Structures are given as C-alpha cells and as structure tokens.
Amino acid sequence: MAFKHHSSFTPPPSEESKLWRYMSLPKFLSLIQQNSLFMGNLERMAQEDKFEGVLPSANFVHRKWKSVDDVPLPILNKLKMNVIYHETGNLQACLENHKEIQELRIRQAYAHRKSYFINCWHLNEYESLAMWDIYSRKDEGIAIISSESNFINAFSAINSDIYGGIVKYANYDCPSFTIDVNNGFNSILHKRASYEYEREYRLVFWDTEVTHTYIPTQIIEFNSNGERSISLGRASIGRSEEDIKNVEPKVSFNAKCDLNKLINEIYVSPSAPSWFFDIVSNIVEKYNVNVPVYHSKLANDPLR
C-alpha cells in the first residue's frame, strides 16, 4: 500500500519534478506537529467550486436523445456492439440501456464526492507570486517543496493507498469535451479551464467505506497434500446512491508521513519579516525536521 500509481492519474514530467504546497502558519504547524498531511473532503471542497468531481455538459447530451434517430453516428456504432443488440437486434433497447448507465454515472459522480480526500500541490520548477497571494498571507506564508519520489518514500509506512496525478483543465461547456465515466477517478482529476493557473497536482485518498459495505467471509484453501485451511476475509458490496446520501462526510483524512522524506526545502514568504523567518526556522529545528529553510527573494530589489 502507501503511494501508488494509477492509470487514471497523469504523472508529472518526472518523479523529481518540483511540487509546491503553499500554506499559512497554522497549517504548517499542524503538518509539523502531527507528521501528517491534511487531506480535505471533496464534498466540502465543492462548497467553493460546485463543479468539483462532477461531469461536464457534454456528458448530459444523452438526455436529448428520444430515439436512435437522434444519436450521433459514432455513438450509434458503439450501441451496435452492445450485447443487447446482438441478442435482440433492438437498437432502441440498447439506447435506453446506454442512457440508464449515463444517468447512473452522473448520480455516482455527485454521491461519491464524499468518499474522496484531496491534498493539493502546485507543479512548478519555480516559486509563484500568485500562489503566495492566494494560498497564504503575504507576510506569514510558508511553502514546502516535495516530489513524487518523496511521496513514495514518505508514505511507505501508511496503511492506506494514496494516489497522485496532474489535474487536467477544460471548458466544461464545450460540446466535444466529455469525461470517460468508466473510472470514477476521472471526474476528480479534471477542473474548469478558469483554474488552469493553479497547475494543480492532487494527492487522493479514496475511502471505500463510504461507497461500499463489507461483510466477513471465509476463504477456504487446499495445499498440495489436499489439506484444507480456513482464513477470514471480507467481501464488498456497493452502496446505492441513496445510501451514500445519508452518510455524513468526514472533514478530512490525515495521511501519516515521514517529514524528512516528504520535504526537500522550506520557503518563507518574500514579504515576511525576519522575525517570522526565525520562528519558522526554530520550529523546524525543534521538531527535528532536517531540511533547509530559505527566505524567498522574490521581493528583493533589483540591482542598480
């Protein structure tokens, strides 16, 4: 377990590409004191961006199709490959089945937001003035630098799967832009083009306890001598969207990590006073985080 790659997640250019996380002093203290990354619930994040984790308008176009005559030829050809068509020759039945599946995926995208926990990073080889302004107080901001290779090492002892990848940006009103609904991760790895300045890389934890219930099972195995052994396991059963609606979303998931393996460097805001830099340096030393701390030079005066 721990940090894992997944086919739905687009990796950065390399495992060593710089990933920045800008934060306030309280968030930095929480990270240092708890040795864990705060991963926010996507349902709560959607209170700020209502499009978090949901599908673009082109994924709803099937609602306009009353008969097979309304269906675009590429989709029609796919319907003809459906098992229902091969068994019955009824293309209208294939269309109704397709529409039901699309509606199910739409409902799941909304319902499953409660099960995802996100930690956001900024992919950039250099500091960003915009990120300092948006995600921290100018005079009390802190940024840590990490990378995918750091994640692999820092999360090695965690008992949960953490995935990571680059967010893709698109025009959600574009008639030709759709999100593949065959994997639930796809909808949470896209955002509207207006957020492209974020250059976001997301760490994701999927809490399957929200979307599934688990029942104990017995696993029976036989060795080469025919001797039987019984071990305990569990099987999962997917919850309905209605059941998931009744689940109270958790505020966060705290991903335990080794800070000395997570962090490469720490930067203090360019407009922070020298005493604030000293405080951050002392905190880092007190908690035995052995990484360099720098005072950003973005606010320095040019040479004359």
Query: What count of other Cβ atoms lies within 10 Å of the Cβ of residue 193?
Result: 14
Is residue 31 within 8 Å of 37, Cβ to Cβ? yes
Confidence of residue 106 (pLDDT cuts 50, 70, 90): very high
Q: How confident is the model at residue 83 (pLDDT cuts 50, 70, 90)?
A: confident
Residue 248 included in any domain: no
Q: How confident is the model over 166-186, as pLDDT tens digits?
A: 999 999 999 999 999 989 999
Q: Is 25 helix (H, G, I), strand (E, B) or coil?
A: helix
> Rounded to whole angstroms, what are the CA distances from 268 to 26, 142, 274?
14, 5, 10
**In which band, very low, low, confident or very high, does the pLDDT at 159 lie, cut at 50, 70 and 90?**
confident
Distance, in Å, from the CA atom of 137 to the CA atom of 25, rounded to the nearest integer, reads 9
Q: Are strands 200-206 and 116-123 parallel, antiparallel or unpaired?
A: antiparallel
Q: What is the CA radius of gyration of the chain?
A: 24
Could you tell me which residue, 148 or 227, shows the higher pLDDT?
A: 148
Residues spanned by the domain of 137? 2-55+117-204+259-295
For the cut 70, the answer to whether the pLDDT of residue 12 exceeds it is yes
Higher-scoring residue by pLDDT: 78, 118? 118
198 plus 276 within the same structural domain = yes
In angstroms, rounded to a whole number, what is the distance separating the alpha carbons of residues 168 and 191? 6
Beta strand extents in 19-127 (DSSP E only)? 19-24, 36-41, 116-123
Portion of the chain with pLDDT greater than 90, in percent = 72
Are residues 30 and 159 both part of a single domain?
Answer: yes
- Please give the angle made by the CA atoms of 104, 110 and 114, to the nearest 5 degrees: 125
**pLDDT at position 49 over 60:** yes
On whether the CB atoms of residues 60 and 172 are closer than 8 A, the answer is: no
Read off the pLDDT of each residue in 151-180 and give the average, rounded to a whole number: 94
Residue 126 sits in the same domain as residue 150: yes
Q: Which residues of 257-293 are buried (b: 16+ CB within 10 A; e: fewer)?
A: bebebbbbebbbbbbbeeebbeebbebbeeeebeeeb
Task: State the pLDDT at residue 232.
Answer: 73
Q: Is 101 left (phi over 0), alpha (psi -120 to 50) or beta?
A: alpha
Whole-number Å distance between alpha carbons of 128 and 188: 24
- d(CA 186, CA 194) in angstroms, rounded, equals 19
| CB 102 within 8 Å of CB 226 | no
Cα torsion through 183, 187, 193, 199, rounded to 10: -80
Of 74, 109, 144, the last residue of a domain is: 109
Does the pLDDT at position 1 exceed 60? no
Q: Residue 244: enclosing H or E segment and its boundaries?
A: helix 241-245
- Same domain as 46, residue 124: yes
Look at residue 135 in the predicted model and tell me its pLDDT: 81
Number of domains into which the chain is organized: 3
pTM recorded for the entire structure: 0.88
Provide the sign of the torsion angle of the four alpha carbons 292, 296, 301, 302, taken in this order: positive
Domain contains 175: yes
Same domain, yes or no, for 122 and 161?
A: yes
The mean predicted confidence, pLDDT, of the chain is 92
195 and 137 assigned to the same domain: yes
If asked whether residues 88 and 218 sit together in one domain, one would say: no
Tokens 């000293």 -> residue? 278
Kind and range of the H or E element at 26? helix 25-34
Same domain, 148 and 190: yes
Mean of pLDDT values over 151-166? 92
232-247 pLDDT per residue, tens: 767 778 888 888 888 8
pLDDT at 158 over 80: yes
Read off the pLDDT of each residue in 149-159 and give the average, rounded to a whole number: 91
What is the average per-residue pLDDT within 153-167?
92
pLDDT in tens, 182-211: 899 999 999 999 999 999 999 999 998 888
